[in-house]
Amino acid sequence: MFNVANTLVFIWLTRPLAWLVTRLAPDQPEVIPEGARPRFLSDAFLDTPAIALNSMAQEVARVGDDAAAIVRLPLSRPDAANLSSMRSGAKNLDRLHGAIVAYGRRLLSKKLTPRESAHLEALLSASDQLHAISDTASLNVRTILKRWRKRG
């Protein structure tokens, strides 16, 4: 009886509760910065693995360029603006790396030759390593610069 009574009471409150929840927490789409969006990856290429692998290679090259920029940025001028730029660059690189990995997973579901599979594995490995380098470098550079600032 208790459950039936609760059900009857809350059926009438469903609309007001839904209205309240949508007012308190409106749905907002995630804004992805331009640098974090893949430029060369397209689902249309997945049916032709050679083209898809080539587009992945171009994105991995972007990851390498971005990782190098992240490492060089604070060393040119160690100030708060450069540290902030380094953090946002690292977040963009994380998103780009995630897009490459997701694309690689979708490509894995296609029929690949052994050579294409090896190429895909090499690209994913390179992207992982470049991503790890940028993460390690940004963490270490931030730590070093904070210590440097404390010492004056």
The pLDDT > 90 percentage for the chain reads 26
Residue 133: band (very low, low, confident or very high) from pLDDT cuts 50, 70, 90: confident
In the chain, the N- to C-terminal Cα span, in Å, equals 72
pLDDT at 127: 92
Look at the pTM and tell me if it is higher than 0.75.
Answer: no
Residue 101 has a CB neighbour count (10 Å cut-off) of 13
pLDDT at 52: 92
Query: Please, which residues have CB within 8 angstroms of residue 33's CB and are 6 or more apart in sequence?
Result: 88, 92
Residue 69 has a CB neighbour count (10 Å cut-off) of 15
Average pLDDT over residues 20-40: 74
pLDDT over threshold 70, residue 113 = yes
Question: φ, ψ for residue 53 (rounded to 5)?
Answer: -65, -40
Query: Please, which residues have CB within 8 angstroms of residue 39's CB and are 6 or more apart in sequence?
Result: 58, 59, 62
